[in-house]
Structure 1
């Protein structure tokens, strides 16, 4: 497992081809209380297609160093770009899921020259309102006070579609364990940072690279956000994944990979 010190934090990451080129690079950014293991299937799949796939554990998650207190979306973005710098990668297809989708949009906002194409999976572009900020800070307080065990059980049925908790027990178990092993201090710091994130509507309107929006048909958090992001971006395509909730890459991996694979193939045509 490679690690690197990026912006004063030790970041663990997967690199499918550490001796490979810097042309076709896919950067995968995981969601809140998940870690890079959520992308193991995609790393294998797209490395086999000739992509160099980079999947970091974001600061405070997985095997990366925890920064307690608050970690802003801008910091996650700076860490991801710092990793690309370290690896000598100029541009990447940046794909972010949920919280990672907001990090991907922050990379597009602050470092657009580093984005070859943008893919956003099951996230929302708007900033939090006052109620949303309070809710996130309250959740962060709970994580510090109680840890991750009960929280993981409480959110499992919205992190994947409720019907998939029983239908896909291996996926449900994987998601449950990812959340439970997430460091509470890291998860709380990220939750507080997300409470203060910027809105990305103007960023999306300005996107001039190819873009892809993916959403599970039964994503409990969507509320029309995926369609709005597709409408905002002038060069985007949009796919819904049936039989999936918030995490289609795990709930319906074959269809997710088919959609993403078609998008990646189109970039070189």
Structure 2
């Protein structure tokens, strides 16, 4: 049975993928959408959790489920974990989906900022951080026109375990550059981005797909950093069409 592994972003949990879990399970896929270490119902590791550690956790999940290779789909931090997975365990990845993410290593300024935020949320919790982050996660039109979705995303971020989110931020600050990895990939790859994404603008997604020998770009109009929730039907349709084009099923 073909398998899709969905990897959530920061500071979210597996529930952000529920519309995709429902759609692709109904379409006959085996779907895995775990809570990453330190998020949702998963146990928290204090201090720092690196992207290689997250990737190793996911390979252990594939092993437990008896899955040799999966379509790996990650959003934002989840996309960077997906790139780490295909960098370190290429034999476990059948195809790659990178949603609203970047292969670049963190800048010095970015590393310092992530460490500062990690210390702040460890000391003060997630509530203020989540409120400040919401306008970057969703398009302004989404927040104005879909208050229920905005409230759901805010509540999901606020509920993230602060020490787990902080550990991931510290680890993410140390991530490698995945550009060289993408340049060598032969497997099918899909890059998805929202036109209103403030964190990963469309031009960055265009640069990413140019690195891929077998890549395709989908731009979703009006969506911000979470197009799988903001433009669910279009996101699902694009993913389904691309999956069929790969011949994986």
Q: What TM-score bracket applies, with the shorter chain setting the length?
A: over 0.9
Q: From the two aligned structures, give the one with the greater helix fraction.
A: 2
**TM-score with structure 1 setting the length:** 0.90
Aligned equivalents of 1:97, 1:261: Cα separation in 2: 17
- Measure the CA separation in 2 of the matches of 1:128 and 1:39: 26
* 3-state SS of paired residue (2:52): helix
Q: Which runs of 5+ in 2 are unaligned?
A: none
Task: From 222, 232, 235, give the equivalent of 2:211.
Answer: 232
User: Are the aligned partners of 1:92 and 1:114 in contact in 2 as well (CA < 8 Å)?
Assistant: yes
Structure 1: how far apart are the matches of 2:146 and 2:235? Answer: 16
In structure 2, C-alpha distance between the alignment counterparts of 1:35 and 1:250, rounded to whole Å: 13
Give the alignment partner of residue 256 of structure 1, picking from 229, 235, 246. Answer: 235
Counterpart in the other structure of 1:61 = 39
Q: Provide the residue aligned with 1:176 in structure 2.
A: 154
What is the distance in 2 between the residues matched to 1:265 and 1:46? 12
RMSD across aligned positions (CA): 0.8
Conserved? CA contact 1:117–1:209, under 8 Å:
yes
Aligned partners of 2:65, 2:89: CA distance in 1, in Å? 16
Q: How much does 1:117 deviate?
A: 0.2
Larger RCO (alpha carbons 8 Å, 6+ apart): 2
Residue of structure 1 aligned with 2:225, choices 227, 246, 260: 246
TM-score by length of 2: 0.98
- Asked whether the 8 Å contact 1:125–1:225 carries over to 2, the reply is no
CA positional deviation for 1:163: 2.2
Matched, 1:121 2:83: no
Question: SS at 1:178's partner residue?
Answer: helix
Alpha carbons 1:33, 1:179 under 8 Å: kept:
yes
